[in-house]
Chain A
């Protein structure tokens, strides 16, 4: 699946806000900003990136730059 375009979570397809890559041998998962090029992994939308938890026994390295959450305006 193209990890640049749509969230890889089954049934989601939301806009990619974070990329996830991993090293199986080292049991490490990295979360990186969407602009970072990765060789393998997947894209996650904002909601699924926020709820992502690594498998038991794996280490999570969050390398995303801190951002100010932006609530988009709504219309009534």
Chain B
């Protein structure tokens, strides 16, 4: 028998779960990376990169899954819009992914370069991926093109965006989730202007993804856009060696 309207319980997950997911992810990612580093005897490299990613994803994916099960409908499709409508989402996602990589990021970096001539974010890909080639790139590619989009869309445009939207509406949700997306990807070591340019560029791309999620009410287009964005980097790495 279908549930009556009065039987449907509104989800009770919210920003507290988002904070918990981020905290668990950062701690688990740091621990996993440190363990991999201890085993391999190196501070970077493919095993450390993958261990750090998997640890981070324990929090970013685990907490939304747990929140949906314990505080929501039990389904991330229902609670966070984790669904794909291939006919409309694939084309839209690819277009936004291409625009993000070749227009949004470039415009932001160019803007920073007009103030500081030494802005150079080329090191970012090496820092994030460990600059793999050959078999290493084949192993890492699914993490970048499939894993990161699924996990990060579920967390940032699912749990975080919808929690913020319930508190303050769609504008706060888009802005807040984009700023957090940029901050989480912040890294130092390229110089202050380059670090800031990179954070703003990623935040701007996060804003595109958030707008897609708000506009369509699902994560499908953002998933494809995120996957396209990272696929371009994988292709660039593959052709650079």
Contacts and interface: CB of A to CB of B under 8 A. Distances in A.
A73 B120 contact: no
A67 interface: no
B159 interface: no
Contacts, number: 54
Contacts of A50: 117-118
Interface string A52-76: 0000000000000000000111111
A7 B70 CA distance: 56
Contacts of B205: 76
B117 A73 contact: no
Interface in A6-60: 46-48, 50-51
A9 B147 CA distance: 39
A59 B229 CA distance: 44
A16 B235 CA distance: 23
Contacts of B124: 74-75
A75 B109 contact: no
Contact of A47 (B120, B129, B233): B120
B148 interface: yes
A74 B105 contact: yes
A73 B125 contact: yes
B166 interface: no
A73 B236 contact: yes
Given A71-B105, A71-B106, A71-B109, A76 B117 contact: no
Nearest to B128: A75
Interface residues of A, number: 11
Contacts of B144: 75
A59 B230 CA distance: 44
Interface in B122-163: 122, 124-125, 128-129, 144, 148, 152
Contact of B148 (A47, A71, A76): A76
Contact of B226 (A48, A51, A76): A76
B101 interface: yes
30 contacts: A47-B117, A47-B118, A47-B120, A50-B118, A51-B118, A71-B106, A71-B109, A72-B121, A72-B122, A72-B125, A73-B105, A74-B101, A74-B105, A74-B121, A74-B128, A74-B198, A74-B233, A75-B124, A75-B125, A75-B128, A75-B129, A75-B148, A75-B229, A76-B148, A76-B152, A76-B185, A76-B202, A76-B205, A76-B226, A76-B230
Given A71-B105, A75-B148, 6 more contacts: A48-B118, A71-B109, A71-B121, A73-B233, A75-B124, A76-B152
